[in-house]
Structure 1
């Protein structure tokens, strides 16, 4: 059984509290949406229309099978001296972008980063005005070493079991700004494979970045 430090336990307790709050907020939102849906269905029935769920609706959300990225393992941390590097990372596969989510700070709804989901990788890009350092806790100890490395270790275990091949193992890298040492420009997670990992990475990243900002402001 792995040993967890006091910081790990404290971080886990805090993120659990944050997730519980998020779930309650989402449940309230779902209830309101359900009430609205019931009203719409009621209106449709009064107008002698079939309920909306009976119609064939064509969705265009580009649901394609995730393709595993076949490339050598990335380095954990790299530096960029070119200001356009982050933009290049965003643009190189823009046609394959499936979804963009906003990471916002709960207390004031400030947008702190964008979460770009591509076919075979994820980019987490802090907003230009947001200055967060790779050295600020709990980025390395929790997000990199526990969450992302934990996912990678699970894939490596699957390689040993013959379930997946080594080029399919999840990997990640952090692009930092050479002009401002340690400042995070982009976090890329490659070959995430499982859809469930997207939400786990998003929720954890949102909490971690918020905590980093709190520590930076002290």
Structure 2
């Protein structure tokens, strides 16, 4: 859409404006390239932190084992951390159901779906490829949760968010089932 300001420019003014426009477009290209390089560095840093961040947890040959405990010390689940993938397995002593709040309303709808939507937006911005989008699957027998599989969880920060959200959710679910029975 062209907008005319009703100004008559002499040839020199037009040349200067074209030069300024060319310089600005060059600068935009330089900044876009710089942003791309910075994102790549951030990705490498996140991968490095993820690899280093859970060294204190018990290491198994199949991945890192991170126990998720309630505030009173009861084992709620074990989170197995692999490269680009998580597997969360509830304690065999407890039975968590997908219908028990806040599993669906908080963990699934708010946390996991929020992460997936954020990644979808990043795909739209060109910052993430479609095969790097956060995804998850709840594996259950009927209503009883057997495991939660997560792929493309991202870096250390997101891993911490997932750990915290899962622990908090399972603790609330445990409290509700302990009260019932």
TM bracket, shorter-chain basis = 0.5 to 0.7
Instruction: Report which of the two has the higher share of helix.
Output: 2
Give the superposition deviation at 1:214: 1.1
1:130 aligns with 2:94: yes
1:105 aligns with 2:70: yes
TM-score of the pair, normalised by structure 2: 0.64
Gaps of 5+ in 1: 1-62, 67-93
| Cα distance in 2 between the residues matched to 1:95 and 1:165 | 30
| Cα distance in 2 between the residues matched to 1:65 and 1:102 | 19
Q: Helix, strand or coil for the counterpart of 2:154?
A: coil
Q: Helix, strand or coil for the counterpart of 2:92?
A: coil
CA deviations over 1:142-184 (Å, ceiling 9, x no partner)? 000100110111100011111111111010000001xxx2100
Correspondence for 1:190: 151
Gaps of 5+ in 2: 1-46, 51-59
TM-score of the pair, normalised by structure 1: 0.54
The answer to whether the Cα contact below 8 Å between 2:49 and 2:156 also exists between their aligned partners in 1 is no
Give the greater-gyration-radius structure (CA).
2
| Cα distance in 2 between the residues matched to 1:159 and 1:65 | 23
Correspondence for 2:111: 147
1:117 aligns with 2:78: no
| Cα distance in 2 between the residues matched to 1:207 and 1:95 | 27
Give the superposition deviation at 1:187: 0.5
Give the CA RMSD over aligned residues: 2.0
1:216 aligns with 2:180: no
CA deviations over 1:44-93 (Å, ceiling 9, x no partner)? xxxxxxxxxxxxxxxxxxx8697xxxxxxxxxxxxxxxxxxxxxxxxxxx
| Cα distance in 2 between the residues matched to 1:204 and 1:164 | 24
